[in-house]
Amino acid sequence: MTQTLDLNASSLWRTRLALAGASFLMAVAAAWPGVGHSQTVQLPDFSELVERVGPSVVNIRTTERRGGAAAGGPQQGVDPNIEEFFRRFGIPMPNRPDPRRGAPRSDDEQAQPRGVGSGFILSADGLIMTNAHVVDGADEVIVTLTDKRELKARIIGADKRTDVAVVKVEATGLPFVRIGDVNRLKVGEWVMAIGSPFGLENSVTAGIVSAKQRDTGDFLNFIQTDVAINPGNSGGPLINLRGEVVGINSQIYSRSGGFMGISFAIPIDDAVRVADQLRATGRVVRGRIGVTIGAVTKEVAESIGLGAPRGALVQQIEKDGPADKGGVEAGDIIVKVDGKAVEKSADLPRLVGAIKPGAKVGLQVFRRGATRDLSATVVEFEPERLTRRAQAEPSTPPPVIKSALGLTVSDLTDAQKKELRVKGGVRVDAVDGAAARAGLREGDVILAMDNVDIADSKQFSAVAAKVEKSKAVSVMVRRDEWANYLIIRPGK
């Protein structure tokens, strides 16, 4: 009798638990539709993708004819994968003795391994895309296919600024990749990488897209993933679940030099645009307007009336460059280029870089609380020229003014104005208190305060006298060749 009662009680509790479990699952299903369906929670199977795309991925190794540590090449007896690891992450190679030093070397020994990487085939006739740093400095490029064929490749072109390169092997009927649409790529989407980490050919790793439009370069926004990427993966493809290439694996974030869960890929649409120029002319042509820029902080945006932090702060202008001729001034904030919004400073070089040299571009700048429309003729991008500062000393001591902000200033001489190419401003001779806490230094030149152009020390005193102790005031400062905004808080 007792046994029967126990069984009935046990059955009753099982029924109650089952009902409770069903209620819980119904609640979960209501909150997250699709979670209860097995087909939506299954992890993807990458095996079919590997079979389809794998033959289009190649191993790339490079050599240089003159080896040896003294010549800057790889050291004798050092594994090329380790050499590529040290070079890619900027770690100096340790000096190792050459046990064969002093022994005669044959011509064959002059071709020393330089590095390893990956790439993928773009066309059946042997065009291959990879990273520029994979083939940089190489005298010979050797491509190994999945069928173990080794083919010598010639470099069609390489662009260091985007880290994209195109090489060519003489072959026909090669398997090639399909190019995907980066705009369709979503954060959280599964992606796969195939490459040769540490020379281990056709290694497959997978993960998800962690972020898009990640700012880590001057001319590119990167795709961030958690796909395991290591030295040797560089130049290999990032592939979506449709078997399409959406990026080139290029960089990792690491404090140790090894993979730490964050890797970056060049978006394939940007890479293809670069590759098309490399194939056509062997180089990439970009536009520039001759400005050096910085980010606009929230504090600066609020203090000058810009509102939200946006645009690119012009810190330096190339003398007689396109922006200079177009009327752009140091301290301006460029908020639009040809009608396209500059949301952050990194957008400006990308927008201008995509414009053909010789074209006139419209610029909208924010200056002293108002927007102005300017224009400039874009010229071809070239390395920035170094400028030498003239050391002009005033012949007579200028008048000195001390303000309650903690600043002692003096008028600029005509020679200093000419050197700085400014119409007015005052020089900071001494600094303390609130101004020192804001970051001003002796030798700085104040060009504007509280959105008012400062012509001389007299005007500076008038504007400074009106500053409320409870209000933060913006000061546009010229330091050497750079312009920036600093925020002074008199009451702190």
**What gap in Å lies between CA 153 and CA 138, rounded to an integer?**
11
* Annotated catalytic residue 234: yes
* Annotated catalytic residue 429: no
Tokens 């796909």 belong to: 227
In degrees, rounded to 5, the angle at the alpha carbon of residue 116 between the alpha carbons of residues 115 and 122 is 130
* Annotated catalytic residue 163: yes
Q: Which of 56, 118, 159, 163 is catalytic?
A: 163
Q: Which of 210, 234, 345, 410 is catalytic?
A: 234
Q: Which of 133, 203, 270, 403 is catalytic?
A: 133
With helix as H, strand as E and coil as C, how does the chain read? CHHHHHHHHHHHHHHHHHHHHHHHHHHHHHHCCCCCCHHHHCCCCCHHHHHHHHHHEEEEEEEECCCCHHHCCCCCCCCHHHHHHHHHCCCCCCCCCCCCCCCCCCCHHHCEEEEEEEEEECCCCCEEEECHHHHCCCCEEEEECCCCCEEEEEEEEEECCCCEEEEEECCCCCCCCEECCHHHCCCCCEEEEEECHHHCCCEEEEEEEEEEEEECCCCCEEEEECCCCCCCCCCCEEEECCCEEEEEEEEECCCCCCCCCCEEEEEHHHHHHHHHHHHHHCCCCCEECCEEEECCCHHHHHHCCCCCCCCEEEEEECCCCHHHHHCCCCCCEEEEECCEECCCCCHHHHHHHCCCCCCEEEEEEEECCEEEEEEEECEECCCCCCCCCCCCCCCCCCCEEECCCCEEEEECCHHHHHHHCCCCCEEEEEECHHHHHHCCCCCCEEEEECCEECCCHHHHHHHHHCCCCCCCEEEEEEECCEEEEEEECCCC
Residues annotated as catalytic are 133, 163, 234
